Structure 1
Amino acid sequence: MVPEKLTDLLHTNYRSDLNMFVGRWGYQPATELLPRAYELLKDNALANGCRFWLQDIRRRTFNDPVITNWLLTEYFPQMSAQLGGRLRVAYLTGPDLLAAIRSMPNFLPPSAYDDKPYVVAFFSTESDAMQWLQQEQIRELVVSKN
């Protein structure tokens, strides 16, 4: 069973009407709690087989560089392999966190992920994030037909 604190941190649901997996983070957790939260995210994503993720982190205030490195070098590539295709992750952030992320020296725009089994993008509005995910779904359909 998942500890209550973890379920308070992260609420997930699969939107079958949009083929999107949504994770809404309830607060800024202690760094040591993040791997367990991402394990919960993984289990729920695998149960639905969805590779189009909207992660609402507007209530988070800090982007830990160690966790970010782990996500980019281990977690996202492993998720792509386990889900059987390219993972697309749209992060919905608050304005301060978005500015901090974009000003980091290792920040990459989505186009820089072309050679990766995943792509990550950051947005300040949910509609922009969802529109990007829908465009990625269309792009995947076009590529698979060629």
Structure 2
Amino acid sequence: MATSPLDYLDLNFRSDLGLVTARWTRPVTSSELRTGYQSILHYAADCADCRYWLIDSRRRLEVDASDVHWLTNVFYPTLHRHMHGVVFLAFLAAPYQLHCVQNDSVPSLPRNQGENCSLSQFTDEGAAVHWLLAQGARPIAEQVA
């Protein structure tokens, strides 16, 4: 099931792995980023409350401090309530993006948001998927068995 009404975000449910993939297709404004994350949340809820998300940010380019603040203080705290449990987010980034995130001008994303979510950053998609599977993501066939 792949869909998204947004031209800057591709959403796909990987039933073979039990995870949602969200791929930013171009750089986005803060408003688009926030709309995009709300779309990911609604999409994941429609996919049997899938709490394992691979977020491909390689085409998004820059990280803005106000966006990190919004994610950390507004969006992440709502995840547990909406998704009925901890959400696991694997962020796929280009190596240069990880360098930008480690810059002191942008606050770093906390790795664990308590009962709301757990996050990790990767430059390799295979490693990101492996991490999500290690957190408990599993194919739909295994979930209903």
User: Is the TM-score greater than 0.5?
Assistant: yes
Specify the code of the residue in structure 2 equivalent to 1:47: D
Paired position in structure 2 for 1:94: 94
Contact 1:51 1:80 in 2 (8 A): no
Contact 2:90 2:122 in 1 (8 A): yes
Query: Please, what TM-score do these two structures have when normalized by structure 1?
Result: 0.81
Q: Find the aligned partners of 2:31 and 2:113 in 1 and give their Cα distance.
A: 31
Residues 18-27 or 38-47, more deviating = 38-47
Q: Find the aligned partners of 1:40 and 1:32 in 2 and give their Cα distance.
A: 12
CA-CA distance at 1:114 after TM superposition: 6.7
Paired position in structure 2 for 1:25: 24
CA-CA distance at 1:116 after TM superposition: 4.1
Per-residue deviation, residues 84-103 of structure 1 (Å, max 9, x unmatched): 00011000001111111133
Unmatched 5+ stretches in structure 2: 138-145
Greater per-residue helix proportion: 1
Specify the code of the residue in structure 2 equivalent to 1:99: H
Unmatched 5+ stretches in structure 1: 139-146
- Aligned-residue identity in percent: 27
Query: Please, what TM-score do these two structures have when normalized by structure 2?
Result: 0.82
- SS of residue in 2 equivalent to 1:88: strand
Paired position in structure 2 for 1:142: none
Q: Find the aligned partners of 1:32 and 1:20 in 2 and give their Cα distance.
A: 25
CA-CA distance at 1:28 after TM superposition: 0.8
Distance 1:44 1:101, change over 3 A: same
Q: Find the aligned partners of 1:80 and 1:17 in 2 and give their Cα distance.
A: 24
Aligned runs of 1:59-138 on 2, under 5 Å? 59-104=59-104, 106-107=107-108, 110=111, 113=112, 115-137=114-136
- SS of residue in 2 equivalent to 1:7: coil
Specify the code of the residue in structure 2 equivalent to 1:8: D
Distance 1:96 1:114, change over 3 A: same
Two-structure CA RMSD over aligned residues (Å)? 2.0
